[in-house]
Each structure stands twice: as structure tokens, then as C-alpha cells.
Amino acid sequence: MGIPFIAGVPKFDYDGTTATMEREIEGGKEVITVNPPFLASIQEGVTEPRIPSMRGIMSARTKPLTVVEPVEAGSFVGVNSYELPPAKGDCKYVDAENSEELINLLHNEAKVI
């Protein structure tokens, strides 16, 4: 993608111009400062959900709801070809009492023992 990538970030701060991330490494902590654009995989616990106030809930009831129609994007995936999987070998049944035949088949045909 051509942009910096930071993986496994449990602490994230953004001041409008730079992002400061902190993560645990072997033997301590690593502090990373990066300018946008960048890509980071954030771990659980970075954000805490906010519980809306009663005033916010009541004011949201009176605001108009704008419905935006989706844009037709089409499909980004295509199928080049279909192939059947290769046929499996024949199945041979051996009687439970006939252990010599089983050993012979495993040794000579399957070559596993």
C-alpha cells in the first residue's frame, strides 16, 4: 500500500498532526510516533464505549433523519475457471479378522509401513 503499518497497538493517541502509539515488546515498551497517512491494527481496550446522556437521546429524536441511497458498485471478484478436484483412489474394505491382508496392503500398496 506504500504507507507505514504498525501492528498490535494497545494504546493510541492522536493530536491532529501526529499519532503516538505504545505497545509492549520483549523487555519493555515501544513508543512509535508517525504522521498520517498510516495503517494500524488496534487491539482491544483502546476505546471505551460512551453511554449517551438523556439530553442527547431526547435531542436526537427531534433531528431529521437523512436517508442516503447506496451507490451501485458492482462486483470486484470474478471467476476465471472451474475445475473438478482429482478423483480419489478406490476404497478397499478389509475384514476385521484378516489382519495379514491389511498389513500386506499397507506395506505393498500404500507404502506406509
pLDDT for 62 equals 92
pLDDT for 33 equals 94
pLDDT tens digits for 41-95? Answer: 888 766 677 888 999 999 999 999 999 998 887 777 788 888 888 888 778 888 8
Do 5 and 40 touch, CB atoms closer than 8 A? yes
Q: Is residue 64 one of the residues assigned to a domain?
A: no
Do 8 and 42 touch, CB atoms closer than 8 A? no
Q: Is residue 2 one of the residues assigned to a domain?
A: yes
3-state secondary structure of 55: helix
Q: Is residue 84 one of the residues assigned to a domain?
A: no
pLDDT for 113 equals 83
Which residues form the domain of 38?
1-46
3-state secondary structure of 102: helix
Mean pLDDT of the chain: 87
Total domains in the chain come to: 1
Q: Is residue 10 one of the residues assigned to a domain?
A: yes
Q: Is residue 31 one of the residues assigned to a domain?
A: yes
d(CA 90, CA 51): 63
Q: Is residue 66 one of the residues assigned to a domain?
A: no
